[in-house]
Structure 1
């Protein structure tokens, strides 16, 4: 049975369990628990030197003793995918310990006919889910034998498919023992990303990027999928996890319309950062944001 290597360890984050543990402890220690217990989080997936401190604000909101299953929805960066794909592995390796994939939920998802299987190579080449694994392993370390993971690679979905997958995942989002981790960076700005939107009235370029991202974050907080789609159409912001975010918004929207759901859902962004500040058109940066969704 295949085990997925920690293929980005040693480059995107430390492959030393001791060093990695110290880093994550420091970042988590600097983040406050202000919006938990999280039923879903949005967290960045760049190299930890860039986004590790920001990601901690999302992971700090998790109550590990409640969580029995963690869905990880990450965008596909390397292969064209029009739907969603499941791993071919049974375990995901981390520098701390292996994370077990939930075979029962995988069977349920596969039975819908809406999921394909990705090869181990495609899985290991992709970083969007892997960059969540060390944080998951760290936060859940006291319960490491009491939870499973459900990794899902999300392709370039149409609005209709976002709604379809949102409906499929809504019943899992309704379960308080489940946690959803939505893997996404925010604006990728610069000529190397082929995105140089600049509204001069918003200030310096980095201020413009921040305003642009915050407009999107505020719309995501409304939990209205159509408003987020409209925002993306208007600004074409290069949010790489826009499809996983949209699936979460659709799942929440489906739950809100369900007569059986009497709970209020509140999504809140807790931290924002940029890899660097852009002042000239030759500069580039990637933005990061962390959020938590709670049920009241």
Structure 2
């Protein structure tokens, strides 16, 4: 691992380059989102990773459930959009930059993960090209600003995993999910609909196209809320819904399943708190991306 800092390469295009402006915008969205006391403090969240103009308000509903006082370490699992990975990869840098402040990588946890032999190296070019992890960083910095010198991050790039590998990585990460000082951020948008995404599933029984998209997304969201990794995998195979973070979600569901198998008496509850679409499609010429925010509580 080098001592390089990963630049905030999408600042100024996907979100504000100004730390002051960005902090104010994130603060407004967080203030407008409700705290769900049944799902706060979050042990894991699912949050979108598009430009904040499209999904910033939605993401706030997940981050609103984070209590900085409980968090010492933030695992960020984001899907790979630009390189083919059969497994998962770790950054070769030690610090991630944001317009708010820099976030240090947890080198001790990285050493533990490297020691498993299950992780590839992520080049700096791949790291800086990828937006799925970066788009979570400003929100993490914002909700953790009261403890900005007292927490670390564990960024993990997740490839196109088989269900067997989702189970393997789920087992690997389950011990960290079990620790109350850890927060997992699962980076995912939901349905990418339209010709440009090569996905035009339309069930006319739901009415307008955007209603059909919403119904399809909610089928998958219900299986995630049910903490059903096999059911979610079957749903993806049956419908082909273009949920870009399906593999990070699969890893989370399998980590939860591993903990439940141990019968440690803890109650686990995952709930989706917000859903949105970039636009409401009414014709086959249009396109949209869906966004959803969820929180997992472990009691």
TM over 0.5: yes
Instruction: Return the match for 1:295 from 290, 294, 298.
Output: 298
Secondary structure of 1:65's match?
Answer: helix
State how far apart, in whole Å, the 2-side matches of 1:68 and 1:112 are: 22
Query: CA–CA distance in 2 between the matches of 1:120 and 1:203?
Result: 46
Render the CA deviation track for 1:197-222: whole Å, top value 9, x for unaligned: 00111110000000000111001001
Q: Give the alignment's Cα RMSD to 1 decimal.
A: 0.5
Name 2:41's counterpart in structure 1.
37
Q: Residues 93-242 of structure 1: matches in 2 within 5 Å? A: 93-242=97-246
State which of 17, 20, 23 in structure 2 corresponds to 1:21: 23
Counterpart CA distance in 1 for 2:245 and 2:40 is 22
Matched positions, count: 295
| In structure 2, distance between residues paired with 1:88 and 1:128 | 17
Quote the residue 1:279 is aligned against.
282
TM-score normalised by length of structure 2: 0.98
Distance in 1 of aligned mates of 2:34 and 2:239: 32
Offset at residue 256 of structure 1 (A): 0.1
Quote the offset at 1:97 in angstroms. 0.5
Q: Deviations over 1:120-165 (max 9, x none)?
A: 1100000000000000000000100110000000000000000000
Tell me the distance in 1 between the aligned counterparts of 2:168 and 2:296.
21
- Measured after TM superposition, the shift of residue 224 of structure 1 is 1.0
SS in 2 for 1:133: helix
- Could you tell me how far apart the structure 2 residues matched to 1:36 and 1:203 are? 35
Instruction: Name the SS for the 2:138 alignment partner.
Output: helix
Instruction: State the distance in 2 between where 1:181 and 1:262 align.
Output: 24
Q: Which runs of 5+ in 1 are unaligned?
A: none
Give the TM-score normalised by structure 1: 0.99
C-alpha separation in 2, matches of 1:19 and 1:148: 24
In structure 1, the residue matched to 2:71 is 67
- Flag structure 2 segments of 5+ consecutive residues without an equivalent: none
